[in-house]
Amino acid sequence: MTNQTQNGNSSLHKPGKQLFDSLSDAHLAKVSEHSSDFTILPWVNVVKIGGQSIMDRGRAAVYPLVSEIVANLSKYKMILGTGAGTRARHIYSVAIDLGLPTGVLTVLATAVAWQNAQMLHYLLAQYGIPFVEPEGFSTLPHYLMERNAVVCQGMPPYKLWEPNPATGRIPPQRTDTGCFLTAEVFAARKMIYVKDEDGLYTADPKKDRSAKYISRISVEELLALDLDDLIVERAVLEFLARSRNIHEIQFVNGLIPGQLTAALNGEPVGTIIYKNGHSNDHA
């Protein structure tokens, strides 16, 4: 450990240091970088299940995925987060037409993600998998050790306090972001997004047949491309670029049996977006 780091840590840990210095002080913020994050749940895998891409498709998409989740319960511990999907898009449309602010849109969309989480919970109830709301996250370790998985809704609990986007009124930090932040805070083993596409493309492959598939890319390079259409919320990429614990995220096609299992096993299926300096090249 360098003298600078030692001095930085001692400076930060002096009694009353945070009480007498401004918490927006640049030096104090820099000093706080020197201490490493404690890894809370390093063995858990956060799995985001798409709302529109999976849940909205009903039995044909959800039942096989539920079976795959159950088949992996003996090997992997999972936090299963759900997206909001098409119903949230309808709510956004109505709320914007009524002139409601971003924070209210977030409250309404959270209710939809909650409904999808409840449905997934009921499908997994016979295996003892509980539904846990953000207020109950302190119970996550217990349920994960006992039943190996929990279900939660993916929206971060900002609700009325959702930051305004740079443009428009649609909440910028939605279910993709909520699941990523959960993985980042707990220092999860993996952050896996289950969608209805094979991964990242240069454009929406459902609309543009010339879209090119991208299997691996750094988040820095992806942000520089500034693509109009992304497989994940842009806020996730911005958080990944400055993350401390999660260094890559993976996207798999939940309509193809076995892809989630392959991702949990560490195989390079789908698309992997990684942070520069942390690439594990599987090729």
Residue 22 has pLDDT above 90, yes or no: no
Encoded tokens for 110? 């959270």
Neighbours of 115 (CB within 10 A): 18
Q: 32-41, 160-169, 257-266: which range is least confident on average?
A: 32-41
CB 256, CB 238: distance < 8 Å: no
Q: What domains sit in the chain, N to C, each tagged with a CATH number?
A: 1-35 (no CATH), 39-274 (3.40.1160.10)
Q: 94-103, 114-123, 201-210, 253-262: which range is least confident on average?
A: 201-210
pTM over 0.85: yes
For range 102-119, the mean pLDDT: 97
> Helix count (H) and strand count (E) of the chain?
11, 9
Q: b vs e for 190-203, b when ≥16 Cβ sit within 10 Å of the residue's Cβ?
A: bbbbbbbbbbbbee
